[in-house]
A and B are shown apart, each in its own frame.
Chain A
Amino acid sequence: MSEPAGRPTRRRRAPTRRSVLVMDRLADWTIRIGGIGVILAVFGIMAFLAEVVVPLFTGGEVLSRIEHAKDAIRGRVLVDKLDEYRTLSVALTDDGKVTAFHAASGRAIEARDLDLGGGTITSFAHLPVNGLIALGFADGSVRFGRLGVEVKVIASTDVPAGLADLGGGDSTDGRAVYTRLPGEQVRRLAVLAQLDPPQSIAAGKAIVGLDYRAGGTVERPSRAFVTVDSDGVIRLSNATSRVNLLTRQVQTQVATTTLPDLPPGTKVSRVLMTEKADQIYVAGEDGQVFRFDTRDFAKPMLAEQLDLAPGDQKLTLLDFLNGEQSIVVGTSAGAVDIYFRLQREGARSSDGYTMVRARSLEPHGAPVTGFAPSIRTKSFLTADAAGNIWFRHATSEQTILKLDPPAPGLRYEAVVLAPRDDGILAIGDNGRYYNWRISVPHPETTLHSIFGKVWYEGYAEPSYTWQSSSGTDTFEPKFSLVPLIFGTIKATLYCMLFAVPIALAAAIFTSEFVNRQVRAVVKPTMEMMASLPSVVLGFIAALILAPIVENWIASVILAFAAIPLGLFLGAYLWQMLPERLALRFGGLPKFALMFLAVGLAGYLAWWLGGAFERLAFGGDFKAWANGTVGSDAPFLALLLLPLSFIAVSIGFSRAFGLAWRDLLRALAPMQAGMADFARWALLLVLAVLLALALAWIMTGAGLGPRGTLVDTYVQRNTLVVGFAMGFAVIPIIYTISEDALNAVPEHLRAASLACGATPWQTAVSIILPTAMSGVFAAIMIGMGRAVGETMIVVMAAGNTPVMEWNIFSGLRALSANIAVELPEAVKDDTLYRMLFLAALTLFAMTFVINTLAELIRQRFRKRAMQL
């Protein structure tokens, strides 16, 4: 542009000041760094979540392996014990010798041998959990005892002098191993081996099978044991000891009962007894397993017989996993299966239970020879005749570690899993022993065990279950995220069902039907609702709303129909008002009348609740919900009423719409109002009849809502959550969608009205479709809020991780689960990582919802952009 002559232009021509440029550059960089920082932070959080979660799926690793010659051990190893710190190993051989050696160095430690009194050991049993052992002898007697490692922590001043160093902070005086601990303390590990006097069970007949359990109290210890002698006679004995508190004398009474005979020729290879001594499993070498029901001690009976090793296979392993709920079965073909004893209808057993093969694990290539269960988890070791040792987990059905034979042709006499599942010790038949240090932090989780159906111990069938912790070590943790994801979706869905119609109707009302002054009051008020802390909403929902809804459930359900009908009725009555009055009261009184209609309808619903309960729910809603009384039809009709009303209305307007309009036009306004009211009432009656008929047909066809949408009533239920979360979500959806509706260009509204459309027609056919992108975004943002909402679901949802659509049952959402179980999670343990996985899943869900929302929104927006 040319400058007009004669005007001072110096200022404009001066170069841009440096400070301006610097500020501009500075702002540019600040904004850029801020933006990139936000993106990095989001990705950082995601990366951190993923980093915490990944170890759940990485299995395990072998940290180190050492081997030494086992000079001290001579005979065949019956059992080997390892202490919790993997320091001292204690082996019992069939010659009655107890041998101890330092696991890391192989150095022998002195141990007292068991005094067998010249007996020959013919059978052996031990309990990995507490170190109890039982020995059966050729003369028909049994002896009980303990074998293990005695651990004591002593002050470093109490340590004897002149110790020989074993390396790694360990030293020995030849009788015990001393481990230096931080803080001037020393751990002393010594062999614990003791044997009680013999008890004669089968005079003169060798005991070939033996198992036992101990119980009772300190004053009155009891033992139950089962023996099989060389004639195949199975005896169940119950020994109760009484300790005299003064003399410390022990009196023992033994009661013995004989189990039904096995078929002749059965060679017993294994006897197993449950902790309560109510079930006894006797296995023959050929795989025949006999299950005896010994709940009645005086009259034991054979409950079931089944072949666990079909064909020529031999049964080589029959043992309990930790917790004694699962039985691990191994065969000479290498198969490793897990059986549960389950109650089944039509079971071929005499007690209604049957053995079910619940899990088939990866088979070995050679006969299964060794087994060692974990004493803390459902992990276990299996060894095969080819020298492989596999570390497995029963719940996740995975083989986590496969230890190849360290030497060709090696077979193991014994395998031991360290008490903390962090080491494996195996004694080979080649005069050497092998000691692995392993790390298997999360054996129970695989993608399948988290997202798939798992057949848990004692469950009738595979299921999705979340049950992360319990009081005992024998508990099987159930880490399925599916019920939690389901809970989140359920809470969100029911909440949106409640919130979206109300929020959208409110948004349309304020943006299209009220003047600016009313809007200026209503909108900030609604937005203030959003500032209610959700913990307050949850609190109110749980402590006030839930009992109210429970007490007046029939009224609440009735209110869902009564309030809309009340509003409609009010509107039709308004039309019948003389014009003069209608004009005079058109403003605030009309507004107040709407509230009055809602209030009256609510009161009516409350008042008629009892009658409605008698009529529709057989007089007792909870019994009705359980399915014990009443019929599905009335409730189904109520559900179908809106649909049937819409159908009837459409039908009417298709058939008589134009004629009816002309008729109304011909009538005086008041008469037209009456006629329209009459039409509405008639249509409502027709709709009710149609709904009842449909409900009756659907109920007849077995499509009733009970059992799916409606079931047993729980006080903290999804209906309450829907209400409370609706309160949290409505303001968001309302505000954003109201803004979107308001942003529709005025000229479209004008065009529609100028075409003779009513404000309602304009809102529904022009404004709403045009503002769809914003409205959709509002719904999605509300949904995002509902998915991530925590406090309301924690407090009002009951936190039961069940998977059912029942609106009257509780749920547990992912977010609530994280909040509830956080205090139970120990850093880096499985639950801790599972909670992070829940967080990551939540993150992924909101991410997917938002991405989908954005994609759909963009499609809508492209259209709106052209305006």
Chain B
Amino acid sequence: MAAIAEMQSSAPATEYHAKHGDQGPVIEVRDFNLWYGAAQALHDITMTIERGLVTALIGPSGCGKSTLLRCLNRMNDLVDGLTIRGTMLLEGQDIYDARTDVIALRKRMGMVFQKPNPFPMSIYENVIYPLRVDGIRDRRILDETVERALRGAALWEEAKDRLNESALGLSGGQQQRLCIARAIAGDPEVLLMDEPCSALDPIATLKIEELIDKLSGQYTIIIVTHNMQQAARVSDNTAFMYLGRLIEYGETEQVFTTPRLQRTLDYVTGRFG
């Protein structure tokens, strides 16, 4: 432990210059550490996520950006041998408190995964799954939600005539937008996106990016991406992570044009990573 403490003290401090939204922070992360077994994956992450803004997490593979994202809605609970230390607050409520209702927590955060993962059911059933889970059976509410969510995910025009067909018949981009529709159907506060475009072609990617842009006002979006241009295009704030540490967290424009740290500059200009 002494060695770890030493390493932490010797680690360079994070450079912060993030933009502040007008509604204050929604998530606060304080001194968050995470170990997979004996290997530490996250080191002393401290950051706030601003409400209503799009925050991008970038960094080379294995830097811990997806891990951090998955910690936010405790999806990492499924992993064996996980140890965490530190605090994560969603609107002041400790995410990792033993008393926290994980199920209720996840309902407040929609999540979109790397690979489109619609359920093997109809488009309609996919979208209303969060409501089904809540036990809502009122057909009117369900119909309204489907339209709202699909419109929100810019899929309504393409899918409205085939709502009862299998979601697996959609193209990859459509499937991912369906997953976004599913994520927003439950009306969450935060939308977590884990490399949502990595499995998609450029045109589908463009559509998703437009969608993120459109949703940015309504939801707090945290997006993990490998694609620097994407981060630059869609996000307000960008966090650059490297080897499990948060290196620089600042306004996107500045991170990409005039980063304060050399390492960030090297990464965003493609010198390593």
Contact = CB atoms under 8 A, between A and B. Distances in A.
B75 interface: yes
A752 B73 contact: no
Contact of B113 (A750, A757, A863): A750
A515 B99 CA distance: 21
Interface of A: 515-517, 579, 583, 653-654, 657-658, 661, 665, 669, 745, 747-758, 761, 765-766, 769-770, 863-864, 866-867
28 contacts: A579-B98, A653-B135, A658-B134, A665-B104, A750-B78, A750-B111, A750-B117, A751-B111, A751-B113, A751-B117, A751-B119, A752-B119, A752-B129, A754-B75, A754-B183, A754-B192, A755-B133, A755-B183, A756-B106, A756-B130, A757-B103, A757-B130, A761-B133, A770-B119, A770-B120, A863-B120, A863-B166, A867-B120
A761 B119 CA distance: 13
B130 A658 contact: no
A84 to B, nearest CB: 73
B263 interface: no
B119 A756 contact: no
Nearest to B118: A751
Nearest to A661: B135
Interface in B58-105: 73, 75, 78, 80, 98-99, 103-104
B163 to A, nearest CB: 17
A516 B118 CA distance: 26
Interface residues of B, number: 35
Contact of B73 (A579, A658, A754, A765): A754
Contacts of B130: 755-757
Interface string B129-172: 11011111100000000000000000000000000001010000
A753 B115 CA distance: 16
Contact of A748 (B98, B119, B136): B119
Task: Give the most central of B73, B80, B119: most A CB within 10 Å.
Answer: B119
B47 interface: no
B120 A756 contact: no
Contacts of A765: 129, 132-133
A867 B130 CA distance: 20
B117 A748 contact: yes
A756 B182 CA distance: 11
A766 B73 contact: no
Contact of A669 (B99, B117, B186): B99
Contacts, number: 91
A584 B183 CA distance: 34
Contact of B168 (A752, A755, A756, A867): A867
Contacts of A665: 104
A658 B137 CA distance: 10
Contacts of A669: 99
A754 B186 CA distance: 11
A866 B166 CA distance: 10
Nearest to A654: B137
A87 B204 CA distance: 97
Interface of B: 73, 75, 78, 80, 98-99, 103-104, 106-107, 109-111, 113, 115, 117-121, 129-130, 132-137, 166, 168, 179, 182-183, 186, 192
Given A755-B182, A756-B186, A769 B120 contact: yes
A756 B133 contact: yes
B120 A758 contact: no
A661 B133 CA distance: 12
Contacts of A752: 119, 129
B31 to A, nearest CB: 23
A583 B98 contact: yes
Contacts of B186: 755-756
B106 A755 contact: yes
A516 B129 contact: no
Nearest to A864: B120
Contacts of B119: 748, 751-752, 766, 770
Nearest to A758: B103
A331 to B, nearest CB: 71
A745 B116 CA distance: 12
Given A756-B104, A863-B166, A658 B111 contact: no
Contacts of B110: 754-755
Contacts of A754: 73, 75, 106, 109-111, 113, 183, 192
Contacts of B135: 653, 657-658, 661
Contacts of A864: 120
B75 A750 contact: yes
Given A751-B179, A757-B133, A863 B75 contact: no
A391 B172 CA distance: 76
A867 B129 CA distance: 18
Contacts of B137: 654
Given A754-B106, A756-B130, 15 more contacts: A516-B80, A658-B136, A749-B78, A750-B75, A751-B179, A752-B129, A753-B106, A756-B186, A761-B133, A765-B129, A765-B132, A770-B119, A863-B120, A864-B120, A867-B120
Contacts of B73: 754
Contacts of A757: 103, 129-130, 133
Contacts of B75: 750, 753-754
Nearest to B115: A747
A761 B132 CA distance: 10
Contacts of A770: 119-120
Contacts of A748: 117, 119-120
A229 to B, nearest CB: 93
A-B CB proximity, top 3 nearest: A756-B107, A754-B111, A866-B168
Nearest to B167: A866
Task: Give the most central of A583, A754, A866: most B CB within 10 Å.
Answer: A754
A751 B118 CA distance: 8
Contacts of A658: 134-136
